[in-house]
Amino acid sequence: MSSRLVLVINCGSSSIKFALRREGVDEPLLSGLAERLYSDNATLNWQAGDSKQQINLADGEHTTAMASLLPLIDEYADQPLSAVGHRVVHGGEHFTCAQVIDDRVITAIRASAPLAPLHNPANLMGIETAMKVFTETPHIVVFDTAFHQSMPPRAYRYALPEELYTQHSVRRYGFHGTSHHYVTNQASLMTGRQPGEGAWLTAHLGNGCSSCAVLDGKSLDTSMGLTPLEGLVMGTRSGDVDPNLHFHLVRTLGWDFLRIEKLLNRESGLLGLSGLSNDMRQLVEARAEGHVGAELAIDVFCYRLARSLAGLAVALPRLDGLIFTGGIGENSALVRELTVSHLGIFGLQIDTQRNDSLPRGQAGTIQMPDSPAILVVPTDEERQIGEESLSLLDSAPTH
């Protein structure tokens, strides 16, 4: 029998991202996305090798989408699935690693829902639907927060009264853990170390953005906190603001908390600063044409990112390298160059020629000879979830 197969499912409120992976193989056998669920134009797109296909999902609910996956899996899987791996955003303080899903795990995911109201209920719906469709296979969950459970109290506690932590779970959790974990493993392999070995700063820059300090495979601090709003400037999220802003808006504009929540989550970040777009690619193009808002947005984004990375550096005993990942980190030479230009104090120096010529989607090193490593590493959260699911089976067999 060839290497094991794992199906990875990332279920959102109106989409399901999936990948069928063979253990130890870089490219998935099959990957795809069911999107716009619950709308009239719900679709299922998938790709296997060079072939791409799409079908309409007439009755586009999660159950229909998941059921449409079954014949696809049957077509591409040449042996039974060994596991179905699920992504869940918030695991609270309950979990430090992947878990085989049982009633206890489902109860804990539900208990963490108030901390991630947009994500956890959708993730859970994906798990419950998939468990009805893939009945013969162990289901495993990997949490975005789990990788950061190694942070020490000085990094995860807020300077708030203790009972808010002990009785109401108010602390910093961190997110994007699967990505920070994956890219640090890759960076250590790319620089001739054991997986995870080394002292790294990572910048995951997608629609959501977070930075992290990782030492020998353990997260020591990260920019996101209780929720994914804290920290860096993001597509539409503000990142850090003075907490008194809330009271200022209440007093001066009469806003309520729903209005403020919308402002900080949906109207701010790159979109708010530029007045143009939350999409970095569009902003880079507009900046080149002299758009003042786009220039300011990119400037603030890079400066605040550099400031966050510099702050996180205090968690590390030394710096072996800086890693860029996510749609922006992997594709924008400009963002990488501007960010590193603020980090000369760490000896970081970018090789602009290598930075500019790195092919999109490829991993590479882009530092000058005397600089600590600067790496671009395409993230692959599905692969990380698949690998963690299979290694959990090895350590805790379910049959």
Q: Which residues bind ligand ADP (CB under 6 A)?
A: 206-208, 235, 279-281, 284, 326-328, 331-332
Residue 121 CB, nearest approach to ligand ADP (Å):
19
Alpha-carbon distance 357 to 364, whole Å?
A: 10
Residue 350 CB, nearest approach to ligand ADP (Å):
16
Residue 279 CB, nearest approach to ligand ADP (Å):
4
Give catalytic status of residue 50 as yes or no. Answer: no
In terms of CB distance, is 327 or 364 closer to ligand ADP? Answer: 327
Query: Closest Cα partner for 323 from 198, 173, 137, 159?
Result: 198
Q: Say if residue 342 is exposed, middle or buried (CB neighbours under 10 Å; 0-12, 13-18, 19+).
A: middle
Residues found in the chain = 399
Please state, as a whole number, how many other Cβ atoms lie within 10 Å of the Cβ of residue 371. Answer: 20
In terms of CB distance, is 280 or 375 closer to ligand ADP? Answer: 280
Alpha-carbon distance 335 to 188, whole Å?
A: 23
In terms of CB distance, is 149 or 278 closer to ligand ADP? Answer: 278
Residue pointed to by tokens 């790319």: 190
Selected catalytic residue, list 144, 221, 320, 380: 144
Residue 176 CB, nearest approach to ligand ADP (Å):
9
Angstrom CA distances, 16 to 36, 155, 266, stand at 9, 33, 22
The closest residue (CB) to ligand ADP is 327
In terms of CB distance, is 219 or 274 closer to ligand ADP? Answer: 274
In terms of CB distance, is 207 or 349 closer to ligand ADP? Answer: 207
Q: Give the contacts of 36 (CB within 8 A, at least 6 positions apart).
A: 14, 15, 42, 43, 60
Angstrom CA distances, 395 to 86, 100, 148, 149, stand at 18, 11, 21, 20
Please name every residue paired with 87 in a beta bridge, in sequence order, or none if there are none. Answer: 142
Residue pointed to by tokens 């947005």: 297
Residue 254 CB, nearest approach to ligand ADP (Å):
33
Residues annotated as part of the active site: 144
